[in-house]
Structure 1
Amino acid sequence: MTKIAIIGSGFIGRAWAITFARAGFDVALADQAQGAPEAALGYIDGVLPSLAENGLLNGESPAAVRARLSAAPSYAAALDGAVHAQENAPEVLDVKRALFAELDRLAAPDTVLASSTSAILPSAFSEDLKGRARVCVCHPINPPYLIPAVEVVPAPWTSGETMTRAADLMRAAGQAPIVMKTELDGFVMNRMQGALLEEAFRLVAEGYASVEDIDVGIREGLALRWSFMGPFETIDLNAPGGVADYAARYQQIYERISPSQWHRVDWNGPVMEQVLAERRARLPQEQLAERQVWRDRRLMALAAHKRKAAADIGA
C-alpha cells in the first residue's frame, strides 16, 4: 500500500489526510504539537459520515477509509516508507526553511517533499537543501476533499521527475492539478481570485454596487458556468466562431474598461466599514461558524452533483 506522510495535522493537514485516505493511500499524520494528530483524527471521524451520505467516499464506508489513517509519534515515523510528504506548517518562511531541512534529512532520497503553502515561493525554503530537486508546492483550495484543484509549483531546481510524480499522485488522489511551468508570486489561483477581489472592492468603494449585489453577480451569474467550465472554455462557447471570434467581438470592451482598473483601494481602508456593516447585517459574527458548516454541506452537495453530472452527461 502506498504511504503518504502528513506533516502538520491542523486545518489543512487533516483535510489532505481525508483526501489521500479516501483515494486508497495509507496516511500517517505527524505534528510537533503533542496530541495534534489524534485531534485531527477525531475531527475526521466527524466528517467521514457526511461524505459517505453524499456519495463522496468512492463507495467505501467511513470505517474503511478511517482504517487507512494513523497518528505517527514523530516526523521520522510518518516519513518511514512514504512516497510523498505533504507539509502544512504555518505560513512563516523561517518555519518552512527549518522544517524542510529536517524533512530533507529524515525522508528517503526518493520521497517527494511538497508544501501546501499558498503564499511562499518554493525557492525561498528549498534553495540550500541537498535534496532540493525533490521539493515542490502542492497548494490546495481548502478543503481538498471537496475542491479538487491543486497547484503544483516548481522551484527553479525542481526536477521534471518530481513534478510528474507530484501531479500523477494528485490525479490518483482524485485531484485536478494545475501544473505550473515556473514559480510566480501568488501562483495561479490567488492571482485570479485577487483580480476579482480587487475589482469587487473597487466597485463597492467607489459606490457602484453593494456588497450583496457583487455577491449576487458571482453567485447567481458567473459562478454557475465557472462551476464546470473555466474562463477560456466559457468564452470559446460564448461566440459562434469560438474563442478567436469572442476576442474579435469583445476585446474592445475590456480594452476600454482596463484603464479604470489600474488603481486599487485599501481593503482595510474606509471601504471595510461598508463591507463589514453589510456582511454583519446579513450574517452576525456569532453565526460565522454555523454558516461555515452550511458552506461545507453545500460544497458536498455540489461535489456530488458534479460527479453525477460528469458520469451522466460527460466531463
Structure 2
Amino acid sequence: MTGGNGDCQIGVVGAGMIGRAWAMVFAQAGFKVQLHNPRAAKLASALQEIEVLLGDLASNGLLRESPDAVLTRIHLAETLEEACVGSVLVQENIPETVEAKRAIYELMDAMAPADAVLASSTSWLPASQFTEGLRGRARCLVAHPANPPYLIPLVEVCPAPWTSSEAVQRALSLYKDAGQEPVLVRKEISGFLLNRVQGAVLNEMLNLYEHNYASTGDLDKVMKFGLGLRWSFMGPFETIDLNAPNGVLDYAERYGPSYATLAKSQEANAWNSEVVQSIDAERRQALEVSELPARGRWRDNRLMTLRRHQTEQPE
C-alpha cells in the first residue's frame, strides 16, 4: 500500500469491467474509493466480483495486504454526487457515446471540487468532443487504461486543447501514486497511442489471414512466441536499438529501406464480415463461446504471473 493516499478520495463512475478494475487499482494503493453506477443492480454485484479478483491477485502474490483490507476502502456510492464530492479525481467509465459523456460531465463538473481532475476512460473519444462547453473544462482529460488496469498498468493521459498543465501534472502524479505507468499523449489523436499500435498489428494480421498466408493459430503464435515475448519487457524502439551492433542508426541503415518498401505494400483492411466470420469459425473450433469466461480468467492469472515477474526485475 502506498503511504499517504488514505486521505485522498477517488470517485469511480461506472461499475462495469473497467470501473471495477479502477476501484481495485486505487484501493490497492491506499486511496478511499467511492464507486457509483447509474444502475443500482450493477452496483450491488460489483463488490462480489471485485472480491473474486482480489483473491486471484492475492493467490499470485500481487497484494501487499489481505483482500478484505483492500475491500474496506471501496465504498458504494448510491448517487453521483456522493462519488464526486470530496474526490481529488473522478474516473468516468460510462458507455462510449458523446451524448452520454456530455451529460454526465456536466453533472460531474457541477458536483466535484473545483480542483478535482475529471478523467475519462474512453478508448476512442477525445476529451474535446464532450468537455468544450463546461465551466471547468480546464480540469478535464482522457485517462485511457489498458484492460484490465489492475494487471496492465499503462494509462494514456491525453488532454484536450484547453486542459491546464496543472491538471495534467496532477493526473500523472495520481496515477503514478496508484502504481500505474502513465504516459502523456501530447495532443489529441483518434485511438490515442495503444489502440493505434494495436490497430496497426490487427490490420496486418487480418491482411495476412485474408490472403491465406497463415491460420489464426499460427498468426497468434507469431506474437505469443515471437514479438510478444520481448515486447512484454521492452518496446519496439529499445528492441531495434539492441538488434543491431551499433544501435538504432545501425538498424535503420541495415533494415530501414526494407521496412519502407514493406509499408507501401500494407493495405488498410476493411474488416469485412466474410473474413471476420471465417476467423470466428477458427476461434470457435479452438474455444466454444461458453468457455470464454473461464479462458478470460485463465488469461488474467497468466498476466498476474507475468506482472509479478515484471515487478521483481530490475529496470
Is the 1:205–1:265 contact (alpha carbons within 8 Å) kept by the matching residues of 2?
A: no
Aligned amino acid, residue 216 of structure 1:
K
2:22 is the alignment partner of 1:19: no
2:254 and 2:22 mapped to 1: Cα distance? 43
1:269 and 1:49 mapped to 2: Cα distance? 40
Query: What is the CA-CA distance between 1:270 and the residue it aligns to?
Result: 2.4
1:173 and 1:266 mapped to 2: Cα distance? 39
Deviation by residue 1:277-311 (Cα, 9 ceiling, x = unmatched): 21111112221111111111111111111112x2x
| 1:5 alignment partner, one of 11, 15, 19 | 11
| 2:210 alignment partner, one of 205, 211, 215 | 205
Q: Which runs of 5+ in 2 are unaligned?
A: 1-6
2:307 is the alignment partner of 1:303: yes
Aligned amino acid, residue 269 of structure 2:
V
Query: What is the CA-CA distance between 1:164 and the residue it aligns to?
Result: 0.5
Which residue of structure 2 lines up, in the alignment, with residue 112 of structure 1? 117
Which residue of structure 2 lines up, in the alignment, with residue 248 of structure 1? 253
Q: Which runs of 5+ in 1 are unaligned?
A: none
Is the 1:15–1:143 contact (alpha carbons within 8 Å) kept by the matching residues of 2?
A: yes
| 1:228 alignment partner, one of 228, 233, 237 | 233
Is the 1:239–1:246 contact (alpha carbons within 8 Å) kept by the matching residues of 2?
A: yes
Deviation by residue 1:81-101 (Cα, 9 ceiling, x = unmatched): 110000000001100000000
Aligned amino acid, residue 30 of structure 1:
H
RMSD across aligned positions (CA) = 1.0
If the length of structure 2 is used for normalisation, what is the TM-score? 0.96
2:129 is the alignment partner of 1:142: no
2:50 is the alignment partner of 1:44: yes
1:240 and 1:174 mapped to 2: Cα distance? 35
Which residue of structure 2 lines up, in the alignment, with residue 238 of structure 1? 243
Is the 1:29–1:72 contact (alpha carbons within 8 Å) kept by the matching residues of 2?
A: yes
2:272 is the alignment partner of 1:275: no
Query: What is the CA-CA distance between 1:47 and the residue it aligns to?
Result: 1.3
The count of aligned residue pairs is: 309
2:39 is the alignment partner of 1:33: yes
Is the 1:28–1:69 contact (alpha carbons within 8 Å) kept by the matching residues of 2?
A: yes
Larger CA deviation: 280-289 vs 241-250: 280-289
Aligned amino acid, residue 295 of structure 2:
R
Aligned amino acid, residue 289 of structure 1:
P
Query: What is the CA-CA distance between 1:202 and the residue it aligns to?
Result: 0.3
1:290 and 1:124 mapped to 2: Cα distance? 37
1:75 and 1:273 mapped to 2: Cα distance? 41
Which residue of structure 2 lines up, in the alignment, with residue 126 of structure 1? 131
Is the 1:150–1:177 contact (alpha carbons within 8 Å) kept by the matching residues of 2?
A: yes
User: Any idea what SS the aligned residue of 1:249 has?
Assistant: helix
If the length of structure 1 is used for normalisation, what is the TM-score? 0.96
Which residue of structure 2 lines up, in the alignment, with residue 156 of structure 1? 161
Which residue of structure 1 lines up, in the alignment, with residue 291 of structure 2? 287
Aligned amino acid, residue 82 of structure 1:
S
Aligned amino acid, residue 245 of structure 2:
P
Runs of 4+ in 1 over 4 A off after TM superposition: none
Aligned amino acid, residue 289 of structure 2:
Q
Larger CA deviation: 276-285 vs 153-162: 276-285
2:235 and 2:269 mapped to 1: Cα distance? 27
User: Any idea what SS the aligned residue of 1:29 has?
Assistant: strand
Which residue of structure 1 lines up, in the alignment, with residue 170 of structure 2? 165
